[in-house]
Structure formats: structure tokens, C-alpha cells
């Protein structure tokens, strides 16, 4: 027998769950039919809606638009394709990238603006469930919401929150930086994210969610996207809290020095024989997508978000914007991992410190000397030049910029929490000796780690998933440790170090 729950009139949605029928939700575009899954030891099933179109098939190099309405109920039980990926050659880098961030490889298409919803099957509380909106990483070159790593079922089953994960366009398809495209439409991937968030605001009540209780969270380029949303959406943002895992957009990275997306566009148009046409943009629009993909991958062309003062403001302005409270008035939680740089050091394969420093864009001779002096072999637990390079990567690309962004937020008076993840598990070491590498925390947050897990891994995952959910439910109360500047400097939540399955406290003073 079906059990029918009538959610409040404010939510204006009907939620149906039954042992003999599939879950459905009525959206602005039509009805969707999902599927259910059960998690061991959970008391209720989880409703999954996979591959919901939040936008129409995008015209290449154009902003997202509303999806066409459908008359018959839409089956949303299968993942949608990923947006067209850019995984650069040589094959060694492709192999490593697939291991870390694209495993298994997904079907790809330009028709990719879909999202997944993982929701509790039980009746929502008054007002609706809190919502966590996930933004994946991938260096703005690749990534997709359908990775098994991002399955939100454990969140829905044990934490009674809703997870939404949306695709967005990356590489040249998401950030083309063509001179013929208006600057305000250059960051198409960011516009996709915003469009998906507006979809959540309009439709999440139909899944039992509260559109006023949305927390955005992301990792790496996803965290950069989160920070860009926080700093560029000061008025009426469709979220009330933000979690940044190993990434931010407020502090410049030395690795970004010299990157010029306009030059990459010129190289692409030249390779496509479009440079002599009346409109390069029209020419590239008509080119075969796989041909474009092959060119940008083999030439390792870089297409990155650009400053448009709509979706991304200049890094030199973020501290002032925060101080003037001209950013989203939301609670912030941010952190990094203990050995972020080991994955990058392996991917780029340099084991000679001098050669490595010489090849870093923007690295002056004086800075090379200063860094060499600051990172002698033996410091920070290093025993060889590879480990020194990995530590430099960790500090330059993640730990120090993240700490500076956290300081900006805390100095401006926003409720701010910081964590440091430092756990190592054998079943997550896709290559030897990676330790707590870049992205290692994701499996703990989502409880999507591989089999053969340890007691610590199980308990730590439960704690971290619960901390992320607590923050989403009560952003002003925080995740379960001290906010910055609230306890005599002992306000860094350390996760997983020395076999811990909860949180430990260490000092952190922002400057």
C-alpha cells in the first residue's frame, strides 16, 4: 500500500514512497521517476534521481537555458554522460589522471547538463531537509557528477540531508575565452553551476528539501568554484554556507602564472584552420567535438576561468570585498590534506629539486634560493628530493593559499572553521606512498571508500560525513570544533592523524 506524505503548503510538493512503487517528484519541467537503494544498517531506503536535465542541451559556447518541458514521466534511474573531457597526453598523465579523478571513465557528450539527487525516502522535517550541493574538481579540464566517489546515498541514509551533484562544462567547452564571446559569458562552466543552483532553489522542495538551507561544497577546482560563488554573489545567494576542500579562488597560485586562455584559443583556431575565417567562433562551433578534444589534449592547451566581475572577481579584490561585506554572508568551512602535493609530484614526474624550481612559472632566481633554503632535506619529515618537491607542491598550491583565504574570511568577521585531513588508508593508495594526497578525503566524506576498509576508516568516515552534515544543518554552530578566533588559537580541527577516528585540536592563528 502506498504511503502518501503531504509536505507543507510552502514546499508545495507531494512525496510518495512505497515498497511496491518507485519514487517520483514533480518539477517545473515535468515529473521524474527515480529509483531506490538500501544502505546496510540504515533504517530507511534512499531515493535516487540520476540524470535530471537542469538545462537544455547547450549550444556550443553559449550560456545554459531552461530545459524543454516533458509530458510523460521521465525515467531518471541512469547516470547521464559527462561533459566533454580534456585529459592531456602523454599517456602517463592520462593514466594517472584516470586513477585519481576519472575512474571509471564516463561516456562523454556536449549534451551533459544533468544533475543527480540523493534524498531520504522518509517524510521531511518541518520546512524540509537541508541540502548539500556538490561541485566536482578536475582542474577545470575534466570531471563529472556521476563518479561513484560522489554517490550521496550515505548522506541521505544516515545524516538525513539531500545531496545534489551537477555536471558543468570544463576546458574549452566551459571556458573558451574567445574574443568574440562577451566577457560576461566567457565562464560558461560557472554559469552552468549557477543555473543548477537556481534549479535547486526552484525544484528541491519536490524532493523534500528546503531551498533556504543549501550548502555548497566542492574539492580542488570545485572548491575554487565554491569560493568564486561566495565572493561574486553578495546579494540573495542560493546558499547559506560553503565548504571548500583543497581549493579557493581568493589567493593567486604561482602555478597559474603565465596561463593565457586567449593564446590557447588562437592555437586551437589555427589547428582547426579557422584563423582566416570571418568568424573564428562560428568556425569552431561547427567543428567536430572529438577533433577539438584531440587538439586541446595533445597540445595540452589551457582554458581557465577569466575575470569577468560577474562570476569571478580579481584576486586582489577579494580581501577588500570580504572586509566590506560585499560577498555572500555565509558560514565557511575550509581545509586541506596533509600530503596534497604527492599526487602532483608523481603526475609531473620531477625528482630533481633544482630542475623543478626552474620549471615553475614565475619562479625567480631569488625565490628559488629562498625556497631551497626553506625546504632542506630532512625538514617536514622529508628524506629525499622527491618528498621535498611534494611538500613544496603541498604548501604552494594548497595549504598556504587556503590558510590565507581562511584568514580573509575570519578577519572580516564571517563564521569560519578550518580542518586538516591527515589519514592514510591502504585501500585508497592508488599508487604507492601517496599518504593523504589531493582528493583523498572525498571518499571519507561520502563514505565511498573501496572494500577492505579498517575500523579507523569506517569510524573516521562516519565522523566526517556527520561533521559536513552538521555544518549544513546548523552553519552558525559549525561542524563540531572551534571556529577561527574563538578559543585562544586552538581552533584547527585535525582529522585522521595518528589513527584518530574523530577530531583533534591544534592551534591556528590567522594573520
pLDDT tens digits along 24-40: 999 999 999 999 999 98
pLDDT at 310 over 70: yes
Mean pLDDT for all residues in the chain:
90
Name the grid cell of 352.
630533481
pLDDT tens digits along 421-447: 999 999 998 888 899 999 999 999 999
Mean pLDDT of 149-171: 98
Q: Which stretches of 310-391 are assigned E, i.e. beta strand? A: 331-337, 377-380
Q: Does residue 220 carry a catalytic annotation?
A: yes
Higher pLDDT, 257 or 186: 186
Fold of 339-511: Rossmann fold (3.40.50)
Question: How many C-beta atoms surround the C-beta of residue 89 within 10 A?
Answer: 12
Percent of the chain with pLDDT over 70: 92
pLDDT tens digits along 215-225: 999 999 999 99
* CATH 2.130.10.10 is held by the domain 1-247+307-315+322-329: no
Quote the pLDDT of residue 10.
30
Instruction: With cut-offs at 50, 70 and 90, classify the pLDDT of residue 3.
Output: very low
The Cα–Cα gap between 471 and 332 comes to 9
Name the grid cell of 25.
517528484
Domain ranges in the chain are: 1-247+307-315+322-329, 339-511
Domains 1-247+307-315+322-329 and 339-511 share a fold: yes
Q: Which stretches of 7-83 are assigned E, i.e. beta strand? A: 14-18, 21-26, 31-33, 35-37, 46-53, 74-75
Instruction: With cut-offs at 50, 70 and 90, classify the pLDDT of residue 475.
Output: very high
Percent of the chain with pLDDT over 90: 76
Global confidence as pTM: 0.93
The Cα–Cα gap between 322 and 414 comes to 9
Name the grid cell of 464.
566526517
The catalytic residue among 130, 178, 186, 220 is 220
Segment of 170-174, 489-493, 500-504, 506-510 carrying the highest mean pLDDT: 170-174
Amino acid at each position: 500500500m502506498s504511503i502518501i506524505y503531504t509536505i507543507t503548503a510552502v514546499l508545495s510538493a507531494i512525496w510518495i514512497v512505497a515498497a511496491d512503487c518507485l519514487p517520483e517528484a514533480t518539477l517545473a519541467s515535468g515529473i521524474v521517476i527515480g529509483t531506490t537503494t538500501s544502505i546496510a544498517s540504515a533504517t530507511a531506503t534512499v531515493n535516487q534521481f540520476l540524470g535530471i536535465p537542469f538545462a537544455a542541451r547547450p549550444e556550443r559556447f553559449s550560456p545554459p537555458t531552461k530545459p524543454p518541458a516533458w509530458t510523460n514521466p521521465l525515467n531518471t534511474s541512469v547516470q547521464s554522460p559527462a561533459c566533454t573531457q580534456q585529459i592531456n597526453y602523454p599517456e602517463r598523465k592520462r593514466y594517472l589522471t584516470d586513477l585519481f579523478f576519472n575512474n571509471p571513465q564516463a561516456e562523454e557528450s556536449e549534451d551533459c547538463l544533468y544533475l543527480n539527487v540523493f534524498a531520504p525516502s522518509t517524510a521531511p522535517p518541518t520546512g524540509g531537509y537541508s541540502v548539500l550541493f556538490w561541485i566536482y574538481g578536475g582542474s577545470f579540464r575534466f570531471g563529472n557528477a556521476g563518479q561513484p566517489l560522489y554517490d550521496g546515498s550515505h548522506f541521505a541514509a544516515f545524516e538525513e540531508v539531500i545531496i545534489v551533484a551537477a555536471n558543468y562544462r570544463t576546458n574549452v567547452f566551459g571556458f573558451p575565452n574567445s574574443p568574440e564571446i562577451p566577457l560576461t559569458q566567457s565562464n560558461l562552466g560557472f554559469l552552468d553551476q549557477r543555473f543548477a543552483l537556481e534549479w535547486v532553489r526552484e525544484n528541491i522542495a519536490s524532493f523534500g528539501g528546503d531551498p533556504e538551507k543549501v550548502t555548497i561544497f566542492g574539492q580542488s577546482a570545485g572548491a575554487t568554484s565554491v569560493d568564486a560563488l561566495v565572493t561574486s554573489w553578495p546579494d540573495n545567494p542560493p546558499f547559506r554556507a560553503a565548504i571548500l576542500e583543497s581549493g579557493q579562488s581568493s589567493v593567486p597560485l604561482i602555478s597559474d602564472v603565465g596561463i593565457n586562455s586567449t593564446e590557447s584559443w588562437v592555437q586551437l583556431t589555427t589547428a582547426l584552420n579557422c584563423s582566416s575565417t570571418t568568424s573564428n567562433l562560428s568556425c569552431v562551433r561547427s567543428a567536430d567535438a572529438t577533433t577539438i578534444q584531440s587538439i586541446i589534449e595533445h597540445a595540452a592547451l589551457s582554458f581557465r576561468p577569466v575575470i569577468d566581475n560577474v562570476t569571478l572577481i580579481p584576486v586582489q579584490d577579494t580581501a577588500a570585498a570580504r572586509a566590506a561585506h560585499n560577498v555572500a554572508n555565509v558560514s565557511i568551512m575550509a581545509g586541506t590534506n596533509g600530503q596534497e602535493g604527492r599526487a602532483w609530484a608523481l603526475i609531473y614526474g620531477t625528482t630533481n629539486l633544482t630542475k623543478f624550481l626552474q620549471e615553475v612559472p614565475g619562479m625567480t632566481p631569488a625565490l628559488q634560493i629562498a625556497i631551497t633554503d626553506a625546504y632542506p632535506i630532512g625538514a617536514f619529515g622529508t628524506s629525499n628530493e622527491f618528498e621535498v618537491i611534494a611538500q613544496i607542491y603541498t604548501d604552494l598550491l594548497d595549504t598556504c593559499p587556503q590558510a590565507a583565504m581562511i584568514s580573509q574570511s575570519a578577519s572580516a568577521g564571517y563564521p569560519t572553521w578550518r580542518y586538516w585531513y591527515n589519514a592514510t588508508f591502504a585501500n585508497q593508495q592508488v599508487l604507492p606512498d601517496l599518504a593523504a594526497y589531493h582528493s583523498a578525503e572525498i571518499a571519507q566524506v561520502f563514505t565511498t571508500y573501496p572494500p577492505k576498509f579498517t575500523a579507523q576508516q569506517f569510524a573516521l568516515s562516519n565522523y566526517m560525513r556527520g561533521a559536513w552534515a552538521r555544518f549544513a544543518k546548523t552553519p552558525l554552530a559549525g561542524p563540531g570544533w572551534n571556529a577561527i578566533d574563538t578559543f585562544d588559537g586552538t581552533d584547527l580541527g585535525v582529522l585522521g592523524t595518528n589513527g584518530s577516528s574523530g577530531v583533534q585540536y591544534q592551534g591556528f592563528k590567522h594573520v
